[in-house]
A and B are shown apart, each in its own frame.
Chain A
Amino acid sequence: MCLGVPGKVLAIDGMSATVDFFGVRKELRLDIVDEPVSVGDYVLNHVGFAIRRIPPDEVQETLALFDQILDVSGAKADLMAADVRGEIAAAKHKE
């Protein structure tokens, strides 16, 4: 639960945003994010809430980092990758 996962904002509807996480669309709440978020921004997700807008120059590094974590193929025992995948899978699907 404590690991944050970044995603790209595709659409915003009031306090709710549709966010792309490595190809999977999810709905996130925007109640507690630190700065105003617009379409195209990247945000860090924590339990279904955006907790931080990622400054643009950090985006590539942060994404690369998560790509690497997710990439550890066949590493069933990799708890960190499992947590990241779990977070992505568990975030609410956008109908």
Chain B
Amino acid sequence: MAAKDLFQELKFRDPVRARALSEAIGHEVAALGRRVSVMHVCGSHEQAIARFGLRAVLPPDLELIMGPGCPVCVTDGPEVDEAVALAVQGARVCTYGDMLRLPGTARSLADAQAEGAKVDVVYSVSQALELAEKHPADEVVFLGSGFETTAVATAAVALANPPKNFSILSVHKYVPAAMNVVAESPETNIEGYIAAGHAAIITGWGIFEPFAARTGKPVVVAGFEPLDILAAILKLTELMRAGKPEVANVYPRCVTKEGNLAAQRSLWKVFRPVTGRWRGIAEVRDGNLDLTPEYAHLDARKRFRIDTSPVRDEEAEEAAKGCICGSIMLGLANPGDCALFGRACVPESPVGACMVSSEGQCRIWHTYGGVPDLRKVGT
């Protein structure tokens, strides 16, 4: 059956359709006639894949890998150190819950909080703004994490004339950079990419066209239901077989080609992509979102002298070296390959970032029994 008909009839969880999709994927991969790897770059996708055991319905010759898909996981230790140092220096640091236990080189914001520093978990950047209004004597620093979908919210607040005691410590990350870093890694052998639907709501799927053209690899934008993901994989394998490095959108109920233009304008008024380190990976070209000169007055890095030396710890950095998060995010290893997985590194006391957030791959594998790839059960 033509894949197009399946997409149009997508009803998200219908087992009959799931089977049809799975069979169609099997045919495509058989026609390819070799072992192929595809990558998704989204924590929400990994959750759905692990939860519904989707890897079990894929042909053995198709490897589905999770790339650097969580902005919390790729936030670098020294970036967390900056926030911890600010909190220790007396600022009121506000951030999303995901960031609280994320280890810096030695300590997390939760550690600083336990020692008496003012650290607030907020659900939205607008709550950080309210805290700044409520505590005019405090310097309120919002540690802004997340990909562009989340950075847009930070930008909206920056544009709305925040109070003088409010500033932003940006560790926002940029999704297209995550795919570049994988595509350019000499060891990876990814033949197609599944792009995250939520980021694409803002940027539009058109943003992936230069990537597809440059790398010669197809990209499919997918939603978060099992059938969304299977449909995306089918579309991807079709494009791979046809040798077409195109971008396809199988999430039209949320994503358009242009995306949300007004949001993009806000985003690029306040932020610009700069090169920076991602945890466990490397320098990532244009991977971080920094405040533009026009908004430098809101930049905590410009407003304060941040001294991270008291909160760093070279020894702890050394211990974290057993963590192979970086290789996992590049698709070169999986959590089972890490000697610390489920032993020294568990959700209650994470060694690496991938065990911290609910969308980190180690955390997800740990939660779903350590072997979400059911094909490997019993082997």
**A interface vs B, CB < 8 Å?**
1-4, 29, 31-34, 44, 46-49, 51-52, 54-55, 58, 61-62, 64-65, 68, 77-80, 82-83, 86-87, 90-92
Contact = CB atoms under 8 A, between A and B. Distances in A.
B262 A2 contact: no
Given A2-B149, A51-B149, A32 B127 contact: no
Q: Indicate the member of B124, B146, B155, B198 with the most A CB atoms within 10 Å.
A: B124
B295 to A, nearest CB: 16
A69 B177 CA distance: 31
Interface stretch (B40-48, B60-68, B316-324): B40-48
B263 A51 contact: yes
Nearest to B152: A32
Contacts of A64: 12
B153 A47 contact: yes
Interface in B104-133: 123-127
A80 B47 contact: yes
Interface of B: 11-13, 42-44, 47-48, 51, 70-72, 96-98, 123-127, 145-147, 149-150, 152-153, 155-156, 159-160, 196, 198, 201-202, 224-225, 253-254, 260-263, 266, 358-359, 363-364, 367-368
A79 B367 contact: yes
Q: Is the interface of B mostly helix, strand, loop or mixed?
A: helix
Nearest to B267: A32
Contacts of A44: 201, 254
A90 B123 CA distance: 6
Contacts of B150: 1-2, 46-47
Nearest to A78: B51
A47 B146 contact: yes
A76 B53 CA distance: 17
B198 A4 contact: yes
A47 B363 CA distance: 22
Contacts of B146: 1-2, 47
